[in-house]
Amino acid sequence: MVLKPRTSQNIVIGGLSGAMPPALGWAAVADSVPAEAWLLVLIIFVWTPPHFWALALYRNKDYEKSGLPMLPVTHGQQFTRLHILLYSIALLATTTLPFVMRMNGWLYLASAWLLGGWFVWLAWKLYKNYSDALSKQLFKYSIVYLSLLFAALLIDHWFIAV
């Protein structure tokens, strides 16, 4: 409530609370919060900035009018596009961790690389040549991406590993 409406890093700050459901759900079911739960939180946390900044780019005028210090408003389009790209690369690396920690297997890893590779490719295209249409495409894909990534986590863990 204090920092979010006052800083251009509002999405990063608010992203932690938005990423908490896996840890909270795990705690409710298992009465513990192991590293695997925190890894899911980390994935959502790293996913949040490129997801919302893609939206903020093509809705920039609305954020400007609202007075919220969104990154494209405070630091410009090019700076925001660079950060979307950097977070997308970090997301690809982060989503490899469930495989590294032996939480999931090869099906998940292949899915994470394919889905994440496309995410990075869209972020790269957006960085190199901005358009509202491409920003919308990345935003929409980010929603599908997270759904498919978590579906791959479940399928690999519960059906392949059994």
Sequence-ordered list of residues with C-beta below 8 angstroms from that of 140, at least 6 positions apart, any chain: none
pLDDT of residue 17: 78
pLDDT of residue 31: 85
pLDDT of residue 7: 60
Residue 142 covered by a domain: yes
CB 98 within 8 A of CB 111: no
Residue 137 covered by a domain: yes
pLDDT of residue 5: 61
Range of the domain at 95: 10-160
Place of tokens 């394919």: 114
Classify each residue of 103-136 as buried b or exposed e, where b means 16 or more C-beta atoms within 10 Å of its C-beta: bbeebbbebbeebbeebbebbebbbeebeeebbe
Residue 5 covered by a domain: no
Percent above pLDDT 70 for the chain: 91
**Distance in angstroms (rounded) separating the CA atoms of residues 75 and 85:** 15
Backbone φ/ψ region at 31: left (φ over 0), alpha (ψ -120 to 50), beta? left
pLDDT of residue 90: 98
Residue 109 covered by a domain: yes
Sequence-ordered list of residues with C-beta below 8 angstroms from that of 54, at least 6 positions apart, any chain: 84, 126, 135, 136, 138, 139, 142
Q: How confident is residue 81, by pLDDT bands cut at 50, 70 and 90?
A: very high
Considering the entire predicted model, what is its pTM? 0.89
**Distance in angstroms (rounded) separating the CA atoms of residues 140 and 14:** 20
If one counts the domains in the chain, the total is 1
* HSE of 96, CA atoms in CB hemisphere, 13 A: 9
Residue 4 covered by a domain: no
Residue 2 covered by a domain: no
- Span 69-84, mean pLDDT? 90
Residue 119 covered by a domain: yes
CA dihedral 25, 26, 27, 33 (to 10 degrees): -140
